[in-house]
Amino acid sequence: MKQFISQIPRVWWLQYLKFIRRRIPAVENGEYSGWSGLSFVYVVAFSIPFCLLAIVPRIIYSLGQSDLYNTLFDLFFLLLLFTFLLSNRPSINSKKVFSIGMIYLFSINLLLQTGTQGPGILYVVLASVFSSILFYKSYAYYTLLVNVLIAFILGTDLRTNWFSSPVVSEYDPTSWFFYSANLLFVNLASIVLIRRVILRLESIINNENELLGQLADESLEIAELNNRLRESEDYYRYLFASNPIPMYVFDVKTLHFMQVNEATILMYGYTREELLEMTILDIRPPEYRELTEAQVRESEKTKTPYLVQTVHLKKDHTEFSVEIRSNPIEINGRKGRLVLATDITERQHYIKSIEAHNKRLKDIAWIQSHQVRAPLARIMSLVTLLKDTEIHSESQEMLDYLDISASELNEIVTKVIRRAE
């Protein structure tokens, strides 16, 4: 309960600030009025309760003294000031100018009634200070001219006594000159110092805004690069995972599998979890493991790809021939090798069948050249010998046909031998 009660003033104050921000927005016509506009919002937010604390007792005191002028003036001042500031129609710059004008009006009224001993002279300086804070440009120097004019009019009143202000009884012309000169000097010094501080702050804010803009641009570029990198990683991950050729990555130090694709799982018969617990030596017959380790160590020294043909084991201990293509790769700081393992068992069977077929052709050629050629040569020799012997004409014609057939058969055998070579 106590905590709830203690939170009530804070809640009220936040609601009050929210109300002031709605009435004096820092964003006008889609443009941000800057830190000076925000400062004006907070100046108004803090000034309203202080004005009420300062002026309401003054109104009550004036009523008690039957001072109708000050009572009406103070009421008119509060009503006009709050109505204009809390109205939605005037722009924020119009409200700033109006506030400075009302401060001058209030300060002049106090000067004419209480002289420099009252708070009137303080409000004159305060108008210049507020102008230095609330406006971007050097409008505060115009308020300094207004202060000079006020000091001149009061100094003139010392001689003419137009307003019958208490200043006439407080100063003579010489003392007023020195008093107003010192006051204006302090006023000028405060304006210059405030303007220098504000300009420095504006420079810092602008630099910070530029840096924030650059950081925002760089952040957008980095985000875009990260998106592209992520898309690229997803694309290559998809190529790796969906590639029909068995592919895997292993650590060159431990020889453990780091990543495997679906084709590898299908070819070896292991699950992904089983393969990631294994090394590349586990998918090789024992007689190939020492050679595999030597190849990995040598390739790690040279940092070059290599291509070898070897024998691997499936989960059911079936041996099959593979062609290994391996390239160096680094994943998350771990050195490894990317391997493409192609099953070449059918290719080797095909090559062996071709070699066997070629061997049979060579055997046929040898038979043609040695076993068929020899009887054919004897036949051709006998035909030549019979031609040299006198025989009947019909027999001679038969020998000619036999000679032609033997020659044709010899040419055919020669062509078969040449094609088989």
Q: 230-240: string of b/e by CB count within 10 Å (b at 16+)?
A: eeeeeeeeeeb
Does residue 389 lie in a domain region? yes
The answer to whether position 217 is within a domain reads no
Report if residue 187 sits inside a domain: yes
Tens-digit pLDDT profile for residues 117-153: 888 888 888 888 888 888 766 777 888 899 999 989 8
pLDDT tens across 288-331, in order?
999 999 888 888 888 888 898 999 999 999 999 999 999 998 88
pLDDT for 32 beyond 70: no
In sequence order, what DSSP letters do the residues of 149-177 get, joined into one string?
A: HHHHHHHHHHHH-SS--THHHH--HHHHH
The model's pTM is 0.52
Contact 121, 111 (CB under 8 A): yes
Same domain, 319 and 413: no
Distance of CA 399 to the CA centre of its chain: 100
Say yes or no: 339 and 353 in one domain: no
Domain count, the chain: 3
Are 111 and 85 contained in the same domain?
yes
- Tens of pLDDT, residue by residue over 199-252, are 888 788 788 888 888 888 888 889 888 888 888 777 777 888 888 889 999 999
Please tell me whether residues 158 and 280 are part of one structural domain.
no
